[in-house]
Structures are given as C-alpha cells and as structure tokens.
Amino acid sequence: MTQSKTDPRVLRTRKLIMDSFIELSGKKEFKDITIKDITIEAKINRATFYYHFEDIYDLLEKALSEVLLVQLNYDFYQHEELTEEVLVSIFKAITNFQKSLSNRCHRAYEDSIARIIREQLEIIFYKMLRKQNKTEEDEALKVTAVLLSWGIYGASVEWRRDSKEKSPEEFIGLVIPYIQKGIGK
C-alpha cells in the first residue's frame, strides 16, 4: 500500500521533519547538521527522511520556501492586484521572514535564502501582473516580475543592513510615490 504525498500522515511527517530541521538550525550551523541529527530530533528513520527529501539541501530549500510562503500568505496574493498596500505587505513579509531567521541561519544559507525569496516573489508578481494586464506581452510581464522581485529583495537587504530605525512600512513607503508616478514624469 503506497501512501500519496497528500495523505495527512505524510504531510504531518514532512512538517515534523521540517520543524526538526528548523529547530536544529537554531542550535547548529547548517554544515554541522546531519541527517542523523534530523532523524533523531524528528524520531523517524532514514528511509522516512529519504521518502520526503532527496538530501539535506533539498530539505533546506523546501523548508525555507514553505516558511516564506506562509509569511507571504500566498493564497491572498494569488487573488490580489499589485497595489501600494500589497507592495508594502509583501515587503513587510520579506523583512519579517529575514528577521525570523537567526543570524547563524542567515549567514549559512545566504545564497539559498536570496534565491528562494526572489523566485517566490517572481511567481507572485507575475501572477498579479498577468491578472491586471491580460492583453500585455507575456515576456514583458515576466521581465517586470523579475525586476520587482530583485528590487524588493535588494531593498529588504538594505533595510536589514542599516535602516532598523525605520519600520519596513516606512522604509518601502519612501519609494512608492516614485514607483507609482513612474520614472521621468
């Protein structure tokens, strides 16, 4: 009897593995976490781990992606148009996600975190732009989504680096009038 990947027991086990990994990443550097550590923390065997994940890097990517999607409230953004309020909300979710990762975790996963954030934002922005611009050139919307995802990610890095005295909303609010007005108008 094979279990489906959407079976509630399978989903619970997958979440248990991810939660155990996130718990361990708060205590140890990523390079020091072993699959054995995860199986002990989650109280599962190696075969169960490999049923759900190819390796520890696959687990890292999926755990970070899922945590980010929860922060972004993905369902909400699938039905929303790209407005000032949505941009501020997305920026706030990204900065909260980055703050929620410990400094140790952040240093170890910097490249993965950056790529995951940009990829998820690109998907969200593309869907929103597509919904608002049904007649526009698809390639132009894809490039716009890439530009927005890199821009929002870059702004979040800048905020994290040296703008802690401003809230994420205040920080991103400074640029919204320029984005809405357009360049050179």
Same domain for 116 and 36, yes or no, is no
Same domain for 101 and 147, yes or no, is yes
Domain count, the chain: 2
pLDDT tens by residue, 127-170: 888 888 887 788 999 999 999 999 999 999 888 887 668 899 99
In this predicted structure, what is the pLDDT of residue 152?
93
Question: Is pLDDT at 2 greater than 70 in this prediction?
Answer: no
In this predicted structure, what is the pLDDT of residue 163?
63
pLDDT tens by residue, 111-123: 888 888 899 899 9
Same domain for 88 and 174, yes or no, is yes
Same domain for 102 and 139, yes or no, is yes
pLDDT tens by residue, 10-69: 889 998 999 898 888 878 877 888 999 999 999 999 999 999 999 988 998 888 888 788
Q: For 81-164, where are the alpha helices, taking DSSP H only?
A: 84-100, 103-132, 138-162
Lowest mean pLDDT among 97-101, 106-110, 178-182: 106-110
Same domain for 44 and 67, yes or no, is no
Same domain for 71 and 92, yes or no, is yes
* CATH assignment at residue 42: 1.10.10
Same domain for 40 and 119, yes or no, is no
156 vs 170: CA distance, rounded Å: 12
Number of CB atoms found within 10 A of residue 150's CB:
15
Expressed as residue numbers, the domain containing 12 is: 8-53
Q: What is the pLDDT of the chain when averaged over all its residues? A: 84
Which amino acid, 157? V
